[in-house]
Structure 1
Amino acid sequence: MSMGTFRNKKPYTAQGFPAPISSPQARVLLWDGEQTAAYLAGTPVPDLPPAGGEQDLLDRHEAAAELGVKTRSWDAYKTDPLLASHMVVVCGVEHWPRGTVRAFQDTRPGKSSATGRPKGKGNAVPRNQLHAKVAALLDAKPAVTVSEVCDALGVAPATAQRALANLRRERIAQLAGQASLSYAEAAERLGFPPTVRRAALKSLQNAPR
């Protein structure tokens, strides 16, 4: 079917055609491939997997709703390196993993409730002790989050994020060298979550050797 015919006939409005999986406000509508294929084949249309997972891809409207902000605020936030490095383009539409959006919630501008310490107050952990203390948290839980580090150590989100990112990069590089693994294999063996693993791998791959 040509695109012109598709636009004119609008087959997606037929009774029983699967509903779009894009947000209601989206300009570009997207459908699930398995559901659409089943409908066209005349077989039962499968249910979508449960929503709410860390790897669910959110468009700009869904990401803004996840943070409880307006879409125009999200458009300003999305250039942050944490978000930009995890952006996935699906059929021309920008998406971000839910886990990445939630991680950004800890550090986004204007959220004093997510800072982990009152405004104007210094970090509770001296700088010369931070590396060791964050390393201990990472040893206990490879998937430890920025907010958990903030809660445990009383440091600012930006401080926690930098410390975690540096430690994860160090450990990936160290294990890769010791065990003759690729960076990706080392990150997986260390148990780092995919949402933070990609940023570490990108940084390592771009670093001079």
Structure 2
Amino acid sequence: MIPHGRPALTLDDVAVRAGVSPSTWRRQHHAAFTAAVQPLPGSARPLLYDAAQTEAHLAGKPIPALPDAPHHGDLLTDAEVAAITGLSASTVRADAANGLLDPGIEQHGRRWWTRAAAEARATRPTQYKGRTPGAKNRAPRPNTPDTRVPEVAAALAAAEQGRQPAPTAQDIATRYGVSTRTAERLLAKARTHTG
């Protein structure tokens, strides 16, 4: 999380502020810095550090605390947004790509979302169309019988008795307003239909 109004720095940015090269920083100053200044919560690849805390450490002053109260402008990672919304991090990224969530902003090589956007997504109902998450019923859904199959079977039986000509796939397609392939499937089911 990058707190609202608090710029974040990478280790290379910290080295620039200290006035040394990144390699010199890593060799001579990195251990003391990381012992005194903790990375921002949730930051990884790259680790990010608060600019105010960094400046205080470089000036030899006491390190100020990060804000402890959440702010609607805080920038959150996909994992932090997932914790607020109850989704997975991959769903957060997919929702942002599909327009179901604010697209976020790109900083330090990764995407960040505001706390306000995460909370808005958390209150919006899901658009999931499949089985309800957490459903205990794992049985297949009941299959409703096709009422056309017995009608086609009756027409086939009447044709066997010589009362009418046998229906063709084209006749069935015209009668029910379906494709020829669907009519062929209805004929196949009607031939095996009992009852």
- Normalised by the size of structure 2, how large is the TM-score? 0.48
Structure that is richer in helix per residue: 1
